[in-house]
């Protein structure tokens, strides 16, 4: 067991479900704030061309750059924080901090109602994304701590499934209020939407109390300036270990490339649909619901595929589908066809996220007790992928006045990731060896 946690008093089933429930808590942000409602709201209440920090840009470009900024901050901070968490035994403490930062920032979005409060909206959104992404590295690091290697794929899939289902429930509640304002006694749809942002913060904070109670407790040491130094040393030690672990290092390179495309798709799918396909708000919501619900199926489906043919086969197959999706998005011209593409996105979205996490947990199994520090590298690469992906997407869109060309750039990253992944050897993994032999 990790040096930064003490043995839990509860059954594995309770701990596993509590861990998975954290995904339901923070995925409300990923769906409502990042994907479904806030992007359209942001574009609707701001000028199409605006001035921010003295720079003239499209509002869709500013939205993409906000995401880049948030992920850049966390890419810089998370290695240090995870090193401190491993050394000082504060995994859950950091998880709580980022949860409260993110949920409170969501609540502050209630006060963002147009150009007059643009800076409030931008910074509240950025801090909500920081809170969301910041908690994930500590959440992910619990996976090898609370389960055996043979359970990684199924438990990882359960976490994403809980997240997709839980966030959809909250989205439907908010959507119902927006479509039927008389149900809540209000006529201002914008006000109801802002109440939705407030509800996301409350939902996030409230549900997170369950994993905070049942996950293994921190085994805290006294925090001193030495802890800060040791935080850096933990990261340096892991980096040195990674230099000798060519297989893990190759996987991380592949993950960086294809995760760039996956995360950018998640962040900007709704913006693409509204800008390029002229989707109305109700159509955007339906689009997101299709992606989320199909993603639940995808998470479990590709967990089964990995059990049958192994993680490598399942990941490579999905990357072929991602390349196909990017090409289809470039050429798609009708809304019905775009809905079909969205369904395909949902199928591989759940699978690629779930299996990427569990595959990494398998590859690092037995190499180090510092699971948080190891997962920080995974997390940093994911964040830097978002920074590069959203920046490239926004820059290409700005230069070409079209988001379609940007999808071909994402396709290129998926291809590069696929090529690198083909060089990763999963044969040392017990569960992978069993899959390929059965």
The CATH number covering residue 195 comes to 1.20.1250.20
Please indicate whether residue 144 or residue 120 has the higher confidence score (pLDDT). 120
Residue 162: inside a domain: yes
At residue 89 the predicted structure's pLDDT band, cuts being 50, 70 and 90, is low
Tally the domains of the chain.
1
CB 377 within 8 A of CB 256: no
Tell me which DSSP letter residue 32 carries: I
DSSP of 39-93: HHHHHHHS-SEEEETTEEEEHHHHHHHHHHHHHHHHHHHHHHHHHHHHHHT-HHH
Residue 286: inside a domain: yes
Instruction: Give me the residues paired with residue 58 across strands.
Output: 49
The chain-wide mean pLDDT, for the chain, equals 83
d(CA 133, CA 101): 11
Domain of residue 283, residue span:
12-217+225-437
Among 261-275, 305-319, 322-336, 359-373, whose mean pLDDT is lowest? 359-373
The full length of the chain comes to 438
d(CA 288, CA 294): 10
Segment 88-105 mean pLDDT: 88
Segment 348-352 mean pLDDT: 88
Residue 290: inside a domain: yes
Q: Is the pLDDT of residue 35 over 90?
A: no
Residue 1: inside a domain: no
Look at the alpha carbons of 94, 98, 99, 101 in this order and tell me if their dihedral is positive or negative: positive
Q: Is the pLDDT of residue 27 over 80?
A: yes
3-class DSSP assignment, residue 10: coil
Residue 39: inside a domain: yes
pLDDT tens-digit profile of 267-305? 677 778 877 888 887 787 788 788 888 888 888 898 899
Residue 6: inside a domain: no
Please indicate whether residue 326 or residue 160 has the higher confidence score (pLDDT). 326
**How much is the pLDDT for 432?**
47
- Using a CB cutoff of 8 Å and minimum separation of 24, what contacts does 153-156 make? 153/303, 153/306, 153/307, 153/311, 153/354, 153/355, 153/358, 153/431, 154/303, 155/16, 155/19, 155/20, 155/358, 156/303, 156/354, 156/355, 156/357, 156/358, 156/361
Instruction: Give me the residues paired with residue 57 across strands.
Output: 50
Q: Is the pLDDT of residue 435 over 70?
A: no
Residues 6+ apart with CB under 8 A from 331: none
At residue 436 the predicted structure's pLDDT band, cuts being 50, 70 and 90, is very low
Sequence-ordered strand ranges (E) for 210-319: none
d(CA 258, CA 260): 5
Segment 91-104 mean pLDDT: 92
How far CA 376 is from CA of 69, 248, 383, in Å, comes to 18, 14, 10
**How much is the pLDDT for 108?**
97
Please indicate whether residue 265 or residue 25 has the higher confidence score (pLDDT). 25
Q: Is the pLDDT of residue 238 over 50?
A: yes
CB 328 within 8 A of CB 341: yes
Type and span of the H or E element at 192:
helix 189-207
Q: Is the pLDDT of residue 104 over 90?
A: yes
Residue 5: inside a domain: no
At residue 122 the predicted structure's pLDDT band, cuts being 50, 70 and 90, is very high
Residue 4: inside a domain: no
CB 289 within 8 A of CB 340: no
Selection from 275-279, 338-342, 349-353, 401-405 with the highest mean pLDDT = 338-342
**How much is the pLDDT for 228?**
62
Dihedral angle, C-alpha 255, 260, 262, 265, nearest 10 °: 180
d(CA 267, CA 215): 29
Residues of the chain with pLDDT > 90, as a percent, come to 31
**How much is the pLDDT for 118?**
94
**How much is the pLDDT for 319?**
95
CB 160 within 8 A of CB 302: no
Segment 243-257 mean pLDDT: 89
Segment 37-50 mean pLDDT: 89
Type and span of the H or E element at 430:
helix 430-437
pLDDT tens-digit profile of 51-79? 888 888 888 888 888 888 888 888 777 77
């Amino acid at each position: 067991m990790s040096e930064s946690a003490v043995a839990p008093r509860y059954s594995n089933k309770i701990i596993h479900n509590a861990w998975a429930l954290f995904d339901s808590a923070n995925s409300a942000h990923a769906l409502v704030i990042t994907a479904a409602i806030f992007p359209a709201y942001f574009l609707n209440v701001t000028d199409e061309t605006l001035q921010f920090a003295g720079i003239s840009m499209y509002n869709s470009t500013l939205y993409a750059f906000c995401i880049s900024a948030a992920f850049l901050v966390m890419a810089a901070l998370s290695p240090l924080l995870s090193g401190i968490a491993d050394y000082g035994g504060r995994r859950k403490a950091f998880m709580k901090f980022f949860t409260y930062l993110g949920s409170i920032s969501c609540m502050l979005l209630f006060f963002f109602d147009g150009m007059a409060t643009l800076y409030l909206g931008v910074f509240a959104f950025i801090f909500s994304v920081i809170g969301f992404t910041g908690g994930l590295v500590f959440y992910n690091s619990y996976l090898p701590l609370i389960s055996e290697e043979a359970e990684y794929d199924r438990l990882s899939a359960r976490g994403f499934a809980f997240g997709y289902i839980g966030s959809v429930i909250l989205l439907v509640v908010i959507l119902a209020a927006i479509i039927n304002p008389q149900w809540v006694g209000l006529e201002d749809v914008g006000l109801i939407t802002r109440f939705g942002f407030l509800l996301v913060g409350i939902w996030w904070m409230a549900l997170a109390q369950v994993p905070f109670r049942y996950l293994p407790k921190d085994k805290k040491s006294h925090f001193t300036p030495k802890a800060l130094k040791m935080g850096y040393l933990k990261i340096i030690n892991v980096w040195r270990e990674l230099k000798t672990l060519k297989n893990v290092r190759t996987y991380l390179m592949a993950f960086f490339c294809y995760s760039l495309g996956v995360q950018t798709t998640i962040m900007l799918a709704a913006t693409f649909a509204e800008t390029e396909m002229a989707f109305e708000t109700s159509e955007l919501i339906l689009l997101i619901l299709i992606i989320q619900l199909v993603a639940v199926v995808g998470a479990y489906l590709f967990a089964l595929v990995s059990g049958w043919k192994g993680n490598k086969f399942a990941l490579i197959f999905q990357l072929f589908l991602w390349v196909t999706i990017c090409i289809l998005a470039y050429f798609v011209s009708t809304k019905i066809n775009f809905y079909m593409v969205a369904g395909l996105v949902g199928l591989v979205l759940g699978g690629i996220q779930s299996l990427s996490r569990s595959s990494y947990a398998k590859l690092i199994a037995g190499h180090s007790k510092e699971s948080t520090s190891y997962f920080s590298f995974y997390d940093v690469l994911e964040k830097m992928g978002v920074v590069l992906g959203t920046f490239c997407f926004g820059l290409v869109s700005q230069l070409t006045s079209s988001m379609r060309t940007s999808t071909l750039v994402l396709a290129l990253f998926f291809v590069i990731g696929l090529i690198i992944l083909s060089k990763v050897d999963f044969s040392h993994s017990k569960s992978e060896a069993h899959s390929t032999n059965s």
